[in-house]
């Protein structure tokens, strides 16, 4: 199957789109304010008329390319655009300051290649097994798994659960708009015929990711330009290779499983990888001053997590991060139903996509090693052009879908919502996942009850469903259990905090932050439940 995928992916036109994808991906990874999810959202209208396979190949290139580009800026500029590259910035930027930028970029790029390749191989091996298991599940199990994904993304990621659920509620409400497919009733359409078909998901995605973000940045645009460390061509010496290869493999082992879990994300594995490397290193004194292991491991973890994320996305139709969510929107836009049947119904597309991930990874290594200094030049793009460009292309794309000015009104309203969400610390991801999964979960719920003739017990008729509900209960009750544990063993909890904090804090501000969190740790734990993550949040959220 994979061989067949390669034969589809290496046709000149698909190769061309893979190249365009990785170039665009690296560019948006390097550029501030725009990430892979926003880039794909902006491209959705343009790819509307394209061959789905070619479009998905391009999107996969953007996804992987964004990771490579993101590590370049965090090393050269100390500006981690995504929370998953925060750790890379700690050691990577120190290395760059010490004149070892070339080695840091090299270990990041080669490590990403190694992890991405292994991760994609794991995806190709595991996804068919997941599908085999998933096709045997009934509606109640799907419902439970979707609810698990919704709640895990909402409750585990982000710094405040309460704000996560607020975002989820808004997303579900947006998903309700339009004709109810079962009863034919119009919901939340206020007599507007234009709303009968529901809000166009492309418009929602572009508004929340592009308009909201551009307005938010415009409101706080940095006036002082930041300083980039000049760099030559990335390379590594023998000792760098020796110190890098094990962290790459260990990082991959951390990254893939976490990426594949709903709400596993890339932050936890990069952090775990960093802590592990620090412990295992023969040069622990170098950590905090530019240790190459601290770049190699987390970067590998980050890329392996990206591959892991695609497993539930392709095998179950469950998006677990923003980029996967937008890629799933793309599939839906092409009229392709995401879910376990995807492998059966669209084998050509799925395997070509997986094959193109291998190709894209190799391309990224080729274009990133020699061209890193060139990419860094992109940062000189004047900011007014960058953000005006985002607004311009967002408008153009949203208008081109249906060619009605009404969509632009929606774009503005939802864009202002995205702006307000960023202002008030409401995470964007639960909203998007809610818009995507909400209607599908409702359909599963109604089918399940239909099968059990309205008996709610039918929702628990399958063991997988029961297991999923148990995990949901655990996720929701965890803060409570955590609070009890902290009350009972205050010393252990404090010890854990001091272990976690320094690595997450900005190295320069290390002492100040460590002192602050030490004082905060105990009162925070007993405070309002919604705030218990504040002390580990560090203010960094995934960039859209």
Minimum distance from CB of 12 to other proteins (Å)? 18
Give the contacts of 235 (CB within 8 A, at least 6 positions apart).
102, 103, 106
Minimum distance from CB of 21 to other proteins (Å)? 17
Minimum distance from CB of 36 to other proteins (Å)? 14
Cβ atoms 329, 202 nearer than 8 A: yes
Shorter beta-carbon distance to other proteins: residue 135 or 480: 480
Specify the 3-state DSSP secondary structure of 478: helix
Shorter beta-carbon distance to other proteins: residue 45 or 234: 45
Radius of gyration from C-alpha coordinates of the chain: 23
Shorter beta-carbon distance to other proteins: residue 241 or 393: 393
Q: What is the DSSP letter of 49?
A: G
Q: Give the integer Cα–Cα distance in Å for 307 and 347.
A: 18
Residue environment code for 157-174, b if the CB has 16+ CB neighbours within 10 A, otherwise e: bbbbbebbbbbbebbbeb
Minimum distance from CB of 330 to other proteins (Å)? 16
Residue environment code for 46-78, b if the CB has 16+ CB neighbours within 10 A, otherwise e: ebeeeebbbbbbbbbbbbbbbbbbbbbbbbbbb
Minimum distance from CB of 139 to other proteins (Å)? 12
Give the contacts of 220 (CB within 8 A, at least 6 positions apart).
none
Cβ atoms 107, 92 nearer than 8 A: no
Q: Give the integer Cα–Cα distance in Å for 188 and 8.
A: 43
Shorter beta-carbon distance to other proteins: residue 246 or 533: 533
Minimum distance from CB of 361 to other proteins (Å)? 25
Specify the DSSP element, H or E, that contains 179: strand 178-179
Q: Give the integer Cα–Cα distance in Å for 248 and 108.
A: 9
Shorter beta-carbon distance to other proteins: residue 53 or 395: 395
> From start to end of 236-284, where are the E strands?
none
Minimum distance from CB of 420 to other proteins (Å)? 6
Shorter beta-carbon distance to other proteins: residue 484 or 528: 528
Shorter beta-carbon distance to other proteins: residue 131 or 152: 152
Shorter beta-carbon distance to other proteins: residue 3 or 224: 224
Minimum distance from CB of 152 to other proteins (Å)? 16
Shorter beta-carbon distance to other proteins: residue 56 or 363: 56
Minimum distance from CB of 57 to other proteins (Å)? 18
CB atoms within 10 A of CB 496: 13
Shorter beta-carbon distance to other proteins: residue 359 or 436: 436
Minimum distance from CB of 71 to other proteins (Å)? 13
Number of Cα atoms under 13 Å in the Cβ half of residue 100: 18
Cα 326–Cα 258–Cα 484 angle in degrees, nearest 5: 115
């Amino acid at each position: 199957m994979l061989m067949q995928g390669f034969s589809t992916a290496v046709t000149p036109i698909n190769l061309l789109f893979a190249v365009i994808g990785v170039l665009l991906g690296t560019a948006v990874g390097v550029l501030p304010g725009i990430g892979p999810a926003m880039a794909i959202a902006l491209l959705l209208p343009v790819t509307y008329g394209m061959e789905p396979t070619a479009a998905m190949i391009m999107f996969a290139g953007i996804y992987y390319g964004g990771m490579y580009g993101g590590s370049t800026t965090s090393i050269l500029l100390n500006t981690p655009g995504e929370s998953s590259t925060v750790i890379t910035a700690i050691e990577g930027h120190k290395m760059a300051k010490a004149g070892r930028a070339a080695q840091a970029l090299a270990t990041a790029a080669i490590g990403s290649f190694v992890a991405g390749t292994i991760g994609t191989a794991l995806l190709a091996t595991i996804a068919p097994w997941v599908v085999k298991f998933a096709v045997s599940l009934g509606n109640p199990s799907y419902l439970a798994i979707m609810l698990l994904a919704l709640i895990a993304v909402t409750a585990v990621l982000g710094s405040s659960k309460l704000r996560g659920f607020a975002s989820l509620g808004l997303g579900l409400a947006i998903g309700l708009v339009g004709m109810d497919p079962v009863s034919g009733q119009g919901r939340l359409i206020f007599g507007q015929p234009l709303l009968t078909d529901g809000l166009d998901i492309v418009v929602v995605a572009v508004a929340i990711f592009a308009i909201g973000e551009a307005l938010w940045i415009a409101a706080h645009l940095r006036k002082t330009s930041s300083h980039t460390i000049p760099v030559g061509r990335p390379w590594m010496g023998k000792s760098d290779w020796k110190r890098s290869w094990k962290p790459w493999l260990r990082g991959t082992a951390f990254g893939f499983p976490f990426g594949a879990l709903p709400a596993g994300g890339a932050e936890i594995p990069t952090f775990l990888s960093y802590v592990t490397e620090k412990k295992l290193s023969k040069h622990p004194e170098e950590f905090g001053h530019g240790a190459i292991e601290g770049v190699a491991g987390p970067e590998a973890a980050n890329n392996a997590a990206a591959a892991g994320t695609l497993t539930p996305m392709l095998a179950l139709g469950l998006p677990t991060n923003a980029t996967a969510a937008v890629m799933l929107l793309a599939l839906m836009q092409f009229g392709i139903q995401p879910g376990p049947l995807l492998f059966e119904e669209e084998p050509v597309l799925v395997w070509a996509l997986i094959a193109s991930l291998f190709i894209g990874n190799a391309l990224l290594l080729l274009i990133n090693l020699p061209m890193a200094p060139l990419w860094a030049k992109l940062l000189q793009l004047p900011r007014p052009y960058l953000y005006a460009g985002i607004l311009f292309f967002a408008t153009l794309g949203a208008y081109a879908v249906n060619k009605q000015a009404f969509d632009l009104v929606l774009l503005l309203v939802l864009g202002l919502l995205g702006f307000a969400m960023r202002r008030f610390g409401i995470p964007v991801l639960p909203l998007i996942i809610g818009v995507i999964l909400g209607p599908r979960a409702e359909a599963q719920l109604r089918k399940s009850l239909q099968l059990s003739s309205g008996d709610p017990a039918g929702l628990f008729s399958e063991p997988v469903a029961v297991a999923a509900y148990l995990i949901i209960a655990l996720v929701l009750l965890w803060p409570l259990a955590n609070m009890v544990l902290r009350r009972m063993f205050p010393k252990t909890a404090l010890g854990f905090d001091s272990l976690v904090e320094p690595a997450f804090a900005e190295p320069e501000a290390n002492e100040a932050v460590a002192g602050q969190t030490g004082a905060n740790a105990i009162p925070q734990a007993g405070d309002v439940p919604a705030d218990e993550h504040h002390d580990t949040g560090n203010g960094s959220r995934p960039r859209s």
